[in-house]
Amino acid sequence: MTSEPRIPLVRLNDGADLPQLGLGVWQVDAGVAERVVSQALETGYRHIDTAAIYGNEAEVGRAIAASGIPREELFITTKLWNTEHERAKALAAFDASLERLGLDYVDLYLIHWPVPSENRYVEVWHALEEIKASGRARSIGVSNFLIPHLERLLAETSTVPAVNQIELHPTFIQQEARDFHAAHGIVTEAWGPLGQGKYDLGDLPAIAEAAAAHGKTPAQVVIRWHLQHGIVVFPKTVNADRMRENIDVFDFELSEAEMAAIDALDRGNRQGRDPATT
């Protein structure tokens, strides 16, 4: 690729713009994370999704510092881990993340899981509101929140989450959650957008046929399917070729029939933890 791909921006409910395609760094070992993020930034990625629990914020931060890319061109997300569901702990955990990242602010700070067993996510959301008010997180949102959890935030607080980051891939399309988000101005972010490699995308005829029709790989078809649905996506890879492949999705368009055929692959196939009990 000779020119940098133009990644569309998604406008959040607080007015900030989020690059719709980024790189996720879950299970990217600290030993390789700086190299991986540096490569991604060189390839044209500007949005990095990390979390305190991923153990690589410091390496992500080093790659950002070394890149020389103006801070305002980058969009950096990190997340509050489940052991910090209390106001003071959340504020301290945020400070520690910012310190490890070596940044003055993050673009997006998320509550990683609702942890309903502790029932403190409303208190924690108020802590994130404080952080946003301080300017050190430009936007705040949640992850793995089910509709009843979102309903409580909407009823009991005055800030609508900018995003909800949820498991979402062709066999788990989360239509009900996406409809709820859209009705309340919450942007849907997909985690595990490629199914985490737990099933072979190319084995699914709707994906294989679209890939053959467009001369693209199954992964590129699935990334394109997310993008055309308005979903924010950050597939994870540590491989430079796949990094280029995953961002090379702006020169083709899936037809309505192809989109519908992929939608029809849904079988409620949750792979990760159930937020109701996590």
Judged by the rule CB under 6 A, the positions of this chain that interact with ligand NAD are 24-26, 49, 112, 143-144, 165, 191-197, 219, 234-237, 242, 245-246
- Choose between 203 and 256: whose C-beta lies nearer to ligand NAD: 203
Q: Taking CB positions, which residue lies at the least distance from ligand NAD?
A: 24
Least distance between ligand NAD and beta carbon 275 (Å): 9
Residue closer to ligand NAD (CB basis): 37 or 103: 37
**DSSP annotation string for the chain:** --S---PPEEE-TTS-EEESB-EE-TT--HHHHHHHHHHHHHHT--EEE--GGGT-HHHHHHHHHHH---GGG-EEEEEE-GGG-SHHHHHHHHHHHHHHHT-S-EEEEEES---TTT--HHHHHHHHHHHHHTTSEEEEEEES--HHHHHHHHHH-S---SEEEEE-BTTB--HHHHHHHHHTTPEEEEESTTGGGSS-GGGSHHHHHHHHHHT--HHHHHHHHHHHTT-EE------HHHHHHHH--SS----HHHHHHHHTT------S--TTT-
Nearer to ligand NAD, 118 or 133 (CB): 118
CB-hemisphere CA count at 13 Å for 154? 15
Residue (22 or 62) nearer to ligand NAD, CB:
22
Nearest to 23 by CA among 202, 238, 198: 238
Shortest distance (Å) from residue 62 CB to ligand NAD: 18
Closer by beta carbon to ligand NAD, 85 or else 112:
112
Distance of closest approach, residue 197 Cβ to ligand NAD, in angstroms = 4
Residue 39 Cβ vs ligand NAD, minimum distance, rounded to whole Å: 13
- Point out the catalytic residue in the list 45, 54, 109, 121: 54
Catalytic, 54? Answer: yes
Any idea which residues carry the catalytic annotation?
54
